[in-house]
């Protein structure tokens, strides 16, 4: 009997019918790790369709599904977020599938199709994030429930997914609700609208069944308390988390905001004179502040047409976002989308469902590799002549050339004290080259993206970075930078406490408008011993929000000191904090 059982077990392994033990994922120090404590990077895309009336991933009318997965993996994609609706979970009739291209999918209902997709993704080692996208397959909702779809049905669907896929090793977890917004609140005590409380209730039930899963929780849109008044994208606003943390085990929790640029909605801050230099402070306020506190923050959605139609500012916005994430050592995210038929964003694929947009792919590869020159403000200990200096070319046969007039420069914004520029570099020749470009510079570069920078007095030399250094014949790339004309000088702090001796600070205004402004303060320990920092800077008006510091305000002077996680600076170490004020 024992021999027969052993034979069946071994045969099952050979045939792939015996599932390996489920893999356990957790969050440690703001990073996802597996059961062996190995970092897990999510080079992710959204492939939508299961949440629509086809109840199947889109594009199956144009190509074979496994062929598309082959292409994704060849590009470096290793994770998919799959949006779902209730009917897809329970087995509705699928559509939009070409029988000749996908004969193995014909006759399967949506639940069976989902089973097949998840099994294949798991077999390939592609991470799967299940996303409860909408309670009705024909439309989204502000809250996690509707009159026709109560909270109990929502939680039941979440637990159904947990039971069904908890043994799949590469299913990392579940995104509880897509883009809470409108009536959704956080921490107000209203049980009917407080998304944080609903997320806690759902997480408890999911974790009971799939304790190894990660719980992805999105932000909301607006909130009457603990939230700035500025507009937020749906699911982007995590500010209230600072006042009302989630009662979800920290090693299970991933904060998963969505953020978009001008192609999706014309937020007023895209028209700020300092755009895109104003964006890092906004992202920091909306969700980035929690990275420094040890939470995992992974964008569940971001994207746009990236200059291929739409608003030309969107390219600059996406470049700045990727630079922001790289600065904070975030290289996991889910791009929206694989599909080209997303009306306002397009996709990684072009309309033929086969050709990849090369610029979008280069952007994603830059994020995944964490490459690119960091802004000058993050490298102040280097001398101006060496900040961001490019390494000599190493590829055999490549030419290095100053492209001269083969570029187009466009000023994206100018607010008097500074400006931001986008530059398109082209190779009109018939052979590949490694490009560099020397441009006149007014002021001091405060940040840059997609380029390495060497300051040369009244000029700066810009050189390609790893992913865009070499231009093919007829190829092009973009880079950008912002510069400050009147950058404030570093000043010694007032030394109000002994522990602050040797601390210096620099106040930088990132954005300014008639009613207020946002700024950040760079702090560095110039002494030869560890120090608890404390600085005082002038403030015009009343503080509306402040992050990564504790503060008091008196007589137009803001005195700030570090939080628990950034209070002590080692010799030569730097940190920063930011605030927005109303005049």
CA–CA separation, 219 and 238 (whole Å): 5
Catalytic, 87? Answer no
Q: Is residue 299 within 8 Å of 259, Cβ to Cβ?
A: yes
Domain 491-582 has CATH 2.60.40.290: yes
Helix 110-124 and helix 65-75: axis angle, to 10°?
30
Fold of 376-484: Immunoglobulin-like (2.60.40)
Element (H, E) at 207: helix 195-209
Please report, in angstroms and rounded to a whole number, the separation of the first and last CA atoms in the chain.
Answer: 82
Catalytic, 205? Answer no
Q: Is residue 180 within 8 Å of 199, Cβ to Cβ?
A: no
Can you point out the beta strands (E) in 317-432? 333-335, 399-402, 407-414, 418-426
Class of domain 25-369: alpha beta
Residues in the chain: 583
Q: Which of 94, 98, 85 is nearest to 116 (CA)?
A: 94
- 482 CB contacts (<8 Å, ≥6 apart)? 274, 276, 277, 418, 419, 420, 421, 445, 446, 447, 448
Catalytic residue among 179, 221, 236, 327: 179
Domains 25-369 and 491-582 share a fold: no
Q: Which of 576, 518, 578, 450 is nearest to 269 (CA)?
A: 518
Q: Is the dihedral of CA 285, 286, 288, 292 positive or negative?
A: positive
For the beta carbon of residue 392, count every other beta carbon within 10 angstroms.
6
> Is 0.95 topped by the overall pTM?
no
Catalytic residue among 51, 87, 236, 301: 301
CA–CA separation, 26 and 211 (whole Å): 10
pLDDT in single tens digits along all 583 residues of the chain: 445 444 444 444 444 444 456 789 999 999 999 999 999 999 999 999 999 999 999 999 999 999 999 999 999 999 999 999 999 999 999 999 999 999 999 999 999 999 999 999 999 999 999 999 999 998 899 999 999 999 999 999 999 999 999 999 999 999 999 999 999 999 999 999 999 999 999 999 999 999 999 999 999 999 999 998 889 999 999 999 999 999 999 999 999 999 999 999 999 999 998 899 999 999 999 999 999 889 999 999 999 999 988 898 999 999 999 999 998 999 999 999 999 999 999 999 999 999 999 999 999 999 999 865 433 332 222 222 222 222 322 333 344 556 655 888 888 777 777 888 889 899 988 999 899 999 999 888 877 888 889 988 889 999 988 778 888 888 888 888 888 876 444 333 333 333 367 898 888 776 655 566 778 888 888 888 898 999 998 888 888 777 778 899 888 889 999 887 678 888 888 887 888 777 7
Q: Where are the alpha helices (DSSP H) in 297-350?
A: 313-327
Q: Is residue 384 within 8 Å of 528, Cβ to Cβ?
A: no
Where do the domains of the chain lie? 25-369, 376-484, 491-582
Query: What is each CA distance from 364 to 43, 61, 161, 302, 348, in whole angstroms?
Result: 8, 26, 29, 11, 10
Q: Is residue 359 within 8 Å of 419, Cβ to Cβ?
A: no
Alpha-carbon Rg for the chain in angstroms: 25
């Amino acid at each position: 009997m024992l021999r027969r059982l052993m034979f069946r077990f071994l045969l099952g392994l050979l045939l792939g019918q015996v599932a390996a033990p489920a893999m356990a994922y957790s969050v440690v120090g703001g990073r996802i790790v597996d059961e062996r404590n190995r970092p897990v990077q999510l080079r992710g895309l959204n492939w939508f369709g299961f949440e629509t009336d086809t109840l199947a991933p889109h594009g199956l009318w144009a190509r074979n599904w496994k062929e598309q997965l082959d292409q994704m993996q060849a590009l470096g994609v290793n994770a998919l977020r799959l949006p779902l609706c209730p009917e897809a979970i329970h087995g509705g009739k699928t559509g939009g599938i070409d029988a000749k291209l996908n004969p193995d999918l014909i006759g399967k209902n949506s639940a069976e199709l989902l089973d097949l997709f998840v099994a294949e993704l798991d077999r390939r080692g592609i991470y799967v994030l299940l996303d409860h996208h909408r309670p009705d397959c024909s439309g989204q909702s502000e809250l996690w429930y509707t009159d026709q779809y109560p909270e109990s049905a929502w939680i039941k669907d979440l637990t159904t997914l947990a039971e069904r896929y908890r043994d799949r090793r590469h299913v990392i977890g579940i995104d509880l609700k897509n883009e809470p917004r409108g009536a959704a609140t956080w921490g107000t005590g209203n049980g009917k609208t407080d998304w944080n409380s609903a997320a806690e209730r759902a997480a408890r039930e999911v974790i009971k069944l799939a304790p190894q899963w990660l719980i992805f929780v999105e932000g909301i849109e607006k909130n009457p308390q603990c939230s700035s008044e500025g507009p937020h994208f749906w699911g982007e606003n995590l500010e209230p988390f600072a006042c009302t943390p989630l009662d979800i085990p920290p090693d299970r929790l991933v904060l998963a905001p969505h953020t978009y640029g001008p192609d999706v909605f014309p937020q007023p801050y895209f028209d700020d004179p300092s755009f895109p230099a104003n964006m890092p402070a906004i992202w920091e306020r909306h969700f980035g502040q929690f990275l420094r506190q040890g939470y995992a923050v992974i964008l569940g959605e971001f994207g746009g047409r990236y200059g291929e139609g739409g608003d030309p500012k969107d390219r600059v916005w996406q470049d700045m976002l990727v630079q922001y994430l790289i600065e904070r050592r975030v290289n996991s995210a889910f791009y929206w989308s694989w599909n080209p038929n997303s009306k306002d964003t397009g996709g990684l694929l072009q309309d033929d469902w086969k050709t990849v947009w090369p610029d979008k792919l280069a952007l994603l590869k830059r994020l995944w590799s964490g490459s690119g020159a960091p802004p000058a403000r993050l490298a102040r200990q280097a001398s101006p002549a060496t900040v961001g200096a490019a390494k000599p070319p190493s590829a055999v046969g490549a030419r290095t050339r100053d492209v001269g007039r083969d570029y187009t420069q466009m000023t994206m914004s100018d607010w008097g004290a500074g400006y931001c520029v986008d530059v398109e570099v082209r190779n009109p020749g018939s052979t590949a080259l490694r490009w560099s470009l020397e441009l006149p510079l007014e002021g001091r570069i405060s940040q840059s993206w997609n380029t390495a920078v060497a300051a040369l007095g009244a000029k700066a030399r810009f050189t390609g970075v790893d992913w865009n250094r070499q231009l093919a014949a007829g190829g092009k790339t973009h880079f950008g930078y912002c510069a400050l004309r009147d950058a404030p000088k570093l000043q010694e702090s007032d030394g109000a406490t002994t522990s602050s001796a040797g601390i210096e600070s620099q106040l930088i205004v990132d954005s300014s408008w008639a009613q207020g402004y946002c700024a950040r303060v760079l702090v560095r320990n110039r002494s030869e011993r560890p120090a608890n920092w404390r600085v005082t800077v002038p403030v015009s008006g009343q503080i509306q929000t402040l992050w990564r510091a504790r503060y008091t305000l008196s007589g137009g002077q803001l005195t700030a000191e570090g939080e628990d996680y950034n209070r002590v600076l080692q010799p030569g170490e730097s940190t920063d904090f930011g605030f927005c004020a109303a005049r």
